[in-house]
Amino acid sequence: MAKILVTGGAGYIGSHTCVELLNAGHQVVVLDNLSNSSEESLNRVQALTGKTLDFIQGDIRRAEDLDQVFNTHQIDAVIHFAGLKAVGESQQIPLAYFDNNISGSISLTQAMQRAGVFNLVFSSSATVYDEANTSPLNETMPTAMPTNNYGYTKLIVEQLLEKLSLADPRWSIALLRYFNPVGAHKSGRIGEDPQGIPNNLMPYITQVAVGRREKLSIYGNDYDTVDGTGVRDYIHVVDLANAHLCALTNRLNATGCRAWNIGTGHGSSVLEVKNTFEQVNGVAITFEFAERRAGDVATSYADNSRAISELNWQPQYDLEDMLIDSWNWQKQNPKGYH
Ligand code: NAD
Ligand code: UDP
């Protein structure tokens, strides 16, 4: 069993990953500045698993915070979730994104090097793929600088981690390219709790369902897709969390830097998501069609065969499970953790 530092562990994907790590018998240390989360998620992680974790409120950009963690704990590997993730906001305050996501990742790897820890799993995104690629997207396809600053930070960090591992063979780095994480832990005790108006489809739908938003705007119904609405590869957050455990096992036994797509390999349209949500949960979602959203592609879904064959990972949950679990979380926690 290993001792894992989870940066951003109080957040949506991090908290679910902490549950899976603790259940698998690992020890967990979380470093999070709580800029987009609350400590309550970690209280619930501990209640759910019946196990304790160490929490340090601190910032990955601060060497002192990182050194404190590495000096206090014998860390075997790091799972790096910490960062900012709102595409629209990244256009308004690019420096905050460059600072948290790029400088933060550099400062983290510097501290890891000081401490002699070289195993890292990084949260990347399908947004790094060149939009000219046709789905299913596989890891050998070209990447391209994304048009938004958030995506830009993900590709920059991928590239600098790759160069780091080329320069120093002690590094072993997994780049996990997430498709669209949704869903929540089966208990409904932890889930996604976005601040303000949600950017993403799933929290928007659940907030309409719970009465916090009036109606869903579906961005575009004239795409070249099955029903004109955008197609994405939704992946249950628990399957995604487990992919991190598989990547850790892989990286503790290898060197170099390698990317894996984490998706189901299946695309669903916005209308299919909305209609299936209504059907499995028995809740109506008021909606309207709106203009296409700038920067959106028609279709994006994964070829996940590399993760399945190399990481010994297999997604367990389908779209219905994701929608049932998202709603279970939201209806139990209409205001999130607050
Ligand atoms: P989240 O906002 O819920 O979690 C991120 C956590 O990092 C938060 O708890 C936040 O407080 C913390 N944090 C932010 N800046 C920090 C800093 N400088 N120092 C310490 N802690 C800091 O987001 P999430 O959805 O759980 O995403 C986790 C990671 O996965 C992010 O890197 C995100 O970019 C990436 N990702 C997310 C998605 C998605 O759709 N959710 C898709 C692809 C990639
Ligand atoms: N979408 C939508 N209305 C919303 C939010 C999203 O129609 O309020 C659509 C969006 O255009 C895309 C899909 O839902 O086709 C998934 O968008 P999301 O922002 O969740 O993820 P993305 O794939 O853009 O990262």
Read off the pLDDT of residues 85-114 as tens digits, 9 standing for 90 and up. 999 999 999 999 999 999 999 999 999 999
Q: Is residue 107 within 8 Å of 63, Cβ to Cβ? A: yes
Length of the chain equals 338
| Cβ(14) – ligand 1 distance below 6 Å | yes
- Mean pLDDT score, 245-256: 94
Tokens of 19: 């549950």
| Cβ(218) – ligand 2 distance below 6 Å | yes
> From edge to edge, which strands make up the β-sheet containing 231-232?
268-269, 231-232, 299-300
**Domains in the chain, start-ordered, CATH in brackets?**
3-184+235-265+303-317 (3.40.50.720)
Ligand closest to CA 5: 1
Strands 299-300 and 231-232: parallel
Q: Which of 53, 85, 202, 322 to mutate to test the pocket of ligand 1 (most atoms within 8 A of CB)?
A: 85
Amino acid at 82: A
pLDDT at 253 over 90: no
Report the mean per-residue pLDDT for the chain: 97
Listed in sequence order, the residues at least 6 apart from 72 whose beta carbon sits closer than 8 Å to its beta carbon are none
Helix axes 201-209, 319-332, angle to 10 degrees: 50
Cα(18) to centroid(ligand 2), Å: 27
Strands 54-57 and 231-232: unpaired
Query: Could you tell me the CA-to-CA distances from 306 to 155, 260, 264, 311 in Å, in that order?
Result: 20, 6, 12, 8
pLDDT in tens, 162-215: 999 999 999 999 999 999 999 999 999 999 999 899 999 999 999 999 999 999
Share of the chain above pLDDT 70, in %: 100
74 alpha carbon, distance to own chain's centre: 26
Cα(224) to centroid(ligand 1), Å: 32
* Measured CA angle at 174 (ends 172, 176), to 5 deg: 175
Q: Is residue 298 within 8 Å of 225, Cβ to Cβ? A: yes
Active-site positions? 150
Mark 103-129 as b/e (b = at least 16 C-beta within 10 Å): ebbebbbebbeebebbbbbbbbbbbbb
Residue 293: exposure state from Cβ atoms within 10 A (0-12, 13-18, ≥19): middle
